[in-house]
Structure 1
Amino acid sequence: MTHVLVGQVVGADLDKPAGGREPQWKRHLRAEMVTLGPDVQQLVWAWLLRQRSEHTAAAYGRDLREWLAFCNERDLDPLAATMGHGDAYGRWLERGRGLSARSAARKLAAVSSWYTYLVKAGGLEANRFRDANRPETNRKESKTVGLTESEAFALNRAAANDHGRQRVRTAAIVALMLSVGPRVAEVTSLPLDSLGWERGMRTVRIVGKGGKIRTRQLPEEAGAAIDAYLAVRGDGPGPLFLSSKGKPLTTGYVAELVQRLAREAGLHKPERVHPHTLRHTFATLAHERGASPREIQDALGHSSIETTEIYLHSPRRLENDPSVKVAKVLW
């Protein structure tokens, strides 16, 4: 049944790169899939192909590769994995890999999603992995905390005063990320024609997770920074932000850029400042300036308000702790 499905629906060449060098995560995944039959291998690529976002597909591919490596090192047939194997894998992710409960739970969910797909595609009778015990996570907490107003200002200024040929691009990227709050993958995948105008306002059209599109207002200052960059970039088609060789920027490049700027801005613990920090910063600053959780949810492209609430913990929550107000009554 699986063979017929793969041949007729998926296609025999689905796992072959379209041209050029395939991404590293695909090569690593391919190496770990050698123990799987060719039909199941095809279903792996079909499952990844279903993901609307290339970023999501890459993350799922890396998660599956890690699970297959875990199985291969222990001579475990992945197609015979049970709930107990999933429990053991979850504990290994936390204790052996030292991952947070949230990261371990996400990886288990990705693997379970693959098994569910195999069942639906006729490649497996049941998803016995589904009921594996996932680490408990606190949905209200996040290790990523937004910058304070003064820190965000310092980072934005460091970007504007950056040196080198790519200074205007640096300023435009950071201005966009701080003032609009997109995910880093959304920034690197923005096409030039995502910029526009609507009802007299400058806009940027962002394609988020699941292919969902949201149109955001681009503040005047961020628009000016982007215009300065466009004067150097030119109006040729393709990604908005290009490397010096005319190639799309990688998320890794943006991460390194943000950390360098955090050091140059003199921020506390700059090694903890990542692109996602800027997204949290947008959310917390917007909340502190009066934006409602629903408005921020819409701006960030979250499908759940619970996810947005994770972003709304103020970086000054210790300074603003209600204990201070209570103490004034007691002393």
Structure 2
Amino acid sequence: MSLLEPSVQELVWAWLMRQRSPHTGAAYGRDLREWLAFCNQFDLDPLSVDVGHGDVYARSLQVRGLSARSAARKLAAVSSWYGYLVRRRVIKANEFGGANRPETNRKESSTVSLTESEARAMVYAAANDHGWQRLRTAAIIPFMLSVGPRVAEVTTLTHASLGYEHGMQTVRIVGKGEKIRTRQIPPEAMEVLSAYLVGRGFAQGPLFATAAGRPMLAGDITDLVKRVARQAGLHRPERVTPHALRHTFATLAIERGASLDEVSEALGHESTDTTKIYVHALRRLENDPSVKVAKVLW
């Protein structure tokens, strides 16, 4: 197959259009394009592959240096497409589903979590940003740290997402699977958010906008977070991502007495098992036996 057959292209679009979340659809689309490019490179018919081809593709992802979690996610996305093709009776069985997937440790997360002092340093650096984007920076960093949304959720927020219920400022977040959760915006975060909204001079459209007025993209927010991390003088600022701010929200909330169920609901997790990943690394480090041994040595 030197080119992607029109029938395959139609099946790709049909599957992607079934995804309720545009962010999920976009992620699946990227993963599937990579797999189809792999098929094209080795002249494979995507509708006739077997488990061996899946094993080779899994190995190629590892050779590229992808983490086990990222590789497993990509393989799961492709397998989901083949599962859809089975239901459509385009193919008889999902041979790809049997491919070897890298083992992942569900108790570990590669995402960093900031300490209280580091989180405060981020808020301080954001408040002291410069240029036209100063008010926006001063608003978005504390908003993400104190509310803990996914970066994809932030990009879809509009002014209409804001509300006021039971005497509290709120934000309506549309999460994975189009599931909606209403979160309280702390007064401190709302104060800087209001200053930003007043300063930019218009009350409609995206909540966090570029100079051109379009919604900030995930890449825009990632660049901003890393820049503020550098300005805050954090160690290895390149590791501080929007997801690190979400991770920080979870760990700080639990450290300050929030229950696992409360944090899980706030994050929009389907299960507390996902939330546990956020806090396990912190507790593992805090309880590391090395501290007990060091007390003997020094």
SS in 1 for 2:91: coil
Partner of 2:162: 195
Partner of 2:285: 318
Distance 1:142 1:33, change over 3 A: farther
Shift of residue 273, structure 1, vs aligned partner: 0.8
Shift of residue 315, structure 1, vs aligned partner: 4.7
- How many residues align structurally? 298
User: Where do 4+ consecutive residues of structure 1 move more than 6 Å?
Assistant: none
Partner of 2:4: 35
The answer to whether the aligner puts 1:183 opposite 2:150 as a matched pair is yes
Distance in 2 between residues matched to 1:234 and 1:50, nearest whole Å: 38
Partner of 2:59: 91
Partner of 1:122: 89
In the superposition, the TM-score normalised over structure 2's length comes to 0.95
Partner of 1:78: 46
The answer to whether the aligner puts 1:164 opposite 2:164 as a matched pair is no
Partner of 1:105: 72
Contact 2:55–2:100 (8 Å) recurs in 1: yes
Shift of residue 88, structure 1, vs aligned partner: 1.2
Superimposed CA distance per residue, residues 260-281 of structure 1 (whole angstroms, 9 cap, x where no aligned partner):
1111100000111111110000
Contact 2:264–2:272 (8 Å) recurs in 1: yes
Contact 2:126–2:134 (8 Å) recurs in 1: yes
The answer to whether the aligner puts 1:309 opposite 2:276 as a matched pair is yes
One-letter code aligned to 2:190: G
The answer to whether the aligner puts 1:270 opposite 2:234 as a matched pair is no
Partner of 1:28: none
User: Can you give the 5+ residue segments of structure 2 that lack an aligned partner in the other structure?
Assistant: none
Contact 2:253–2:263 (8 Å) recurs in 1: yes
Shift of residue 33, structure 1, vs aligned partner: 9.5
Superimposed CA distance per residue, residues 161-185 of structure 1 (whole angstroms, 9 cap, x where no aligned partner):
1001111111111111000000011
Distance in 1 between residues matched to 2:286 and 2:51, nearest whole Å: 45
Partner of 2:27: 59
SS in 1 for 2:285: coil
One-letter code aligned to 1:216: R
Pick from 280, 288, 298: which aligns with 2:247? 280
In the superposition, the TM-score normalised over structure 1's length comes to 0.85
Distance in 2 between residues matched to 1:35 and 1:252, nearest whole Å: 29
User: Identity of counterpart residues, as a percentage?
Assistant: 69
Distance in 2 between residues matched to 1:85 and 1:64, nearest whole Å: 15
Superimposed CA distance per residue, residues 204-263 of structure 1 (whole angstroms, 9 cap, x where no aligned partner):
110000001011111000000110011023444321111111111111011011111111
Distance in 2 between residues matched to 1:284 and 1:315, nearest whole Å: 8
Partner of 1:44: 12
Distance in 2 between residues matched to 1:236 and 1:122, nearest whole Å: 50
Moved more, 54-63 or 116-125: 116-125
Partner of 1:147: 114
